[in-house]
Chain A
């Protein structure tokens, strides 16, 4: 390092991190994003030092909920007209705007203090993989996913299918009785 000042600036510089929300469970992904927005992934974390990073989330339209949460979970939506507040299911809310479900989840996971709104401005959500160029230039690292999305059968290669362990290999003239 050239000097202490430069080292200090590098330590506290704000990173831009990429997160793929494809088939990730929304509440768990929101907790992980909150961790990076607040800066809890850094050993120099302190709640008063503004050490959080920017998080860019792609493929938010493919975020997942468990079981029947898409039908059951309700979001309070402001219609703009007075005295009408609508409770929308997560499915309709997602259809209305594919980025808003994850936005609401992250907003509810962040600590409920004055920092919350300024941290939300550092969250950038995109429904698919099209990111503006000026954000693409800044990206530095990838946030590890919450769970590896499962592969479909046609996404496996032939070698993997052949080398997959089997309990027994039936003989050629084996016919299962229906």
Chain B
């Protein structure tokens, strides 16, 4: 709150201090004045402006040496006054301008006086404030030719400060002040817009300083990186504002050929510049050199704000000086384009914005010169691309590819001029193929397997998840992941703007030409299609016509055909293939593409001892090829959207085939391709996708089953399909199941393993369908037996085959067959007429499995027996007790002394595992079969010995479990039996009239059965 509102009051208060200062010029007196000024209102201050300024200016003008501190305080005080008042007279403005700038003038040198930083700052601040305090028309009048020397002095002073000073604060302030002087200040107090005449007037004036300003600023900009980004940003801004103002096409157009006679004295006239054509040409040449230097230096500046400022520079110069600075257009465009993929999102966004602006304004396409420059740039880049890709490091590659990307973005549809040149297309494709070469030495790729059968993973989230992430792959010539993203974008843009037929043909040819190119070509093809569909492409060219869906579908169909053809889809990916036997015929006919010969394996970085064999490399390469092609199918689905549904009849089968592949990477790639399909074609899960398209799959399966040697994976496809669908498709697969069984009958020896997998999946599906559909009996007459439900028929047929295969030589197959058999029994449980005869026939081989096979098989066979026991107990009980129990009990008894004596190694022997399996299997079975007393006793007798502490722990445990089951069947006799073995307590009769009971079990400490019996008896209570 001002204390002195009126000029009179203020005058009264200020007069003594002003007089005092005029008399004695000390810092204290200046400070005194400034303190008083604080209490004066702005309006009063304006009235008294000249009066107050007088002692201050007087102090500056007094001849003789002065202390810096005093000058500083005077300038600060002046600045304070000016900041609260307006300068309304031109003379005052000119004088103050000179007086303030002179504060830093050292008569001895050309450079600013060696004064304190504080003073420098104060002077800069003072000048800036002065220019702001001047009235608008006064200010414009200030910029007349006669001011040139004084203005020039100030400008060079400020440039010097900006360039030479150590203090960042001063540098920044000097640059700011320079902007103010050059009418570039964007604060509110400055005149907003200048009319044409005023612009020309200022332009004429400033043109004199252009060489000095541009060179000094260029030096600052290209100076030390460490000087801080703020200074560079500020210098860049001043540079382009100044250049674009003085060299503006708009102004230069209006410059007359002959210089008007200036109405100034000769000395000043000499300083004046006439901006005619020759001058423009000259200046432009020099500026081009500076601009190139600046771009070179700044485009890789680590601070994003600097790169952002560079974009502003490019924008301003290309928009305003497209004619005067045509020589700089090349480097400017290159700089802009190079930043299109900047790591900073702000820079990227700004760059895209500018590019879009250019495209809207047709700055490039509408300007032949620019378009030619760009095409030329792209031509030469394409030419040198192969060399650059092989010689540059990741960072270098990154900027080269960014540049390529930028050219493509900016040229848009005009990119075809370059593509239509055969040599350039070849260069471009050569470079892409070269840089995309994969590193196929990683042995893990071949080794990682997946053996699980069952539903495919991650099925529930299909609908909610966006496009599945890409598999991590390793490239031979770069490690930076961003490079791959860039390459993807390059290919996408090519697909988007380029002649897509030309490109697809070209890369298809490379794909076919050599296995060395195949993977890269496939990656490129995938992205070309994605690009052609406009996926992830930001279009800068409004009237560009996208590839039509119809065309796209045609293209995708032909690529798909190539990808899934016999020689590109069925590649060797593992050695220990179980189907090897049959594949031989295929290799002979040359269909199998074993690529080891053609593919050179790069192993340079591997130490000699771990060098993978070339076959591993070629398998690895094959795996990647399949993965890339699978990924492509996912991309194509995205490209076509719902239209991809029409391709499912051919595309889904091969993908599902790979989903069942044993190589983890392939199976994953196939699964994610299917997820992609789900996502774009509107299926909410893999199951849904498979169910809805099972007719297409079944078609493929049934036709391929006819040529099993050509399509050895067909059973696998059916298996995967069955695991991933529900019983609703059973009617559909019924005929295929018959085909499968017929084929199995032909190839028991060779293909049992893959077919057992199918049967397992099939029965699992049947089992799931808990509620069999009722057969409509109205159709059939009273004499005719109703036809069996389809799933019963299938289960019957399958169980029949299982009986044959129960004695297969291969352990894995026997195990699987037992699983299938088990499921058959479950499915057939309500159809005794079918089940019993089959069970009867299965009995002999089953007995064999139980009594004379691997422990794993024994256990699995017990499981089947248990299931059978639940379904046809009577049938089984007598058979079991007659055929099996004696043998098992016998072997347990004879083997017991051996295991009791054995050492720790025994648990690794087959004998041990067999004992364990029998003990584990007996208990539940006895319970399930509801055995009679004598048979239970047989079991108990054989197992009792295993309750001895001398037996291995695991056998004791298993034996205990047997008794737990027996207890459930007959608790009393079990209790008795155990007590006979070991009697823990004296039994006292409940009534004295009863005889005391003496059981045989001794109570002594040495009884080896004590612990286990005790434990069991506790359970009984």
Are A and B a genuine interacting pair, yes or no?
Answer: no
